[in-house]
Amino acid sequence: MNNNLQVIEQNGQYLVDSREVAEMTGKRHSDLIRTIKGYIDTILTDAKLRSLDFFVSSTYEDNKGEVRPHYLLTKQGCEMVANKMTGEKGVLFTAAYVTQFNQMEQNLQNFSNLSPQLQQMICLEQKQNEADQRIGKLENNLGINAYQQTVIQKRINKRVYELVERYGEDAEGKRRMFSSIHRNFRDAFAVPTYKDLRKLDFEEAISWIGTWRPLI
């Protein structure tokens, strides 16, 4: 179980990603989503309450590039989720979100005591770090380049010929082996062809090819 909980700032609110909450509490994210939807339905029955004060609906892209729903929880939203939890996981989650939210609030207070010049410098540095993180994420999710495609192709060829020689396969056996490694590669990395591999998965793919064996 992950005991770290990251609090982010968005539009003046401190928020926690429901995926992190699910991981930390040992719940399936889909189950937590259903629970939060139930809370929102209940909140909406009271005209004095706003669901956005507890849960902010959002989306993200999974590893396949598909858009998935998730929620961003405010401190009140975390409290609502934590109140229904019992045992060690509930205690650890409560301790984590209280600690992190308090730290963020303390940081904000310390920031407000700084001179305007220092505040501006810190804001610029934070924006640069955020930009660098976004660029890094985009680069990692890009497909491999032409050179990396060639490397993958050569590693596949090398591995197949190694196994053909080891097992004494004939031309038909070699053809089946090529077909098998490409099929297994697509399944292992959830891509249409090796050319569609993510840059992030390149090193893992090289290692995978080096240990691949045909299923008997």
Q: Where are the domains of the chain?
A: 7-116, 146-211
Arithmetic mean of pLDDT over the chain: 83
pLDDT at 122: 57
Q: Which of 21-30, 101-110, 153-162, 172-181 has the lowest mean pLDDT?
A: 101-110
Q: How far apart are CA 159 and CA 124, in angstroms?
A: 49
Tell me: the pLDDT tens digits for 119-133? 677 567 767 777 776
What confidence score (pLDDT) does residue 23 get?
84
Residue 11: pLDDT above 80?
Answer: no
pLDDT cut 90: percent of the chain above it: 35
pTM confidence score: 0.47
- Residue 1 is predicted with a pLDDT of 46
Q: From CA 122, how far away is CA 124, in angstroms rounded?
A: 5
| H-helix segments, the chain | 18-25, 29-43, 75-83, 87-112, 116-141, 146-167, 171-189, 202-211
Gap between the Cα atoms of 137 and 7, Å rounded: 19
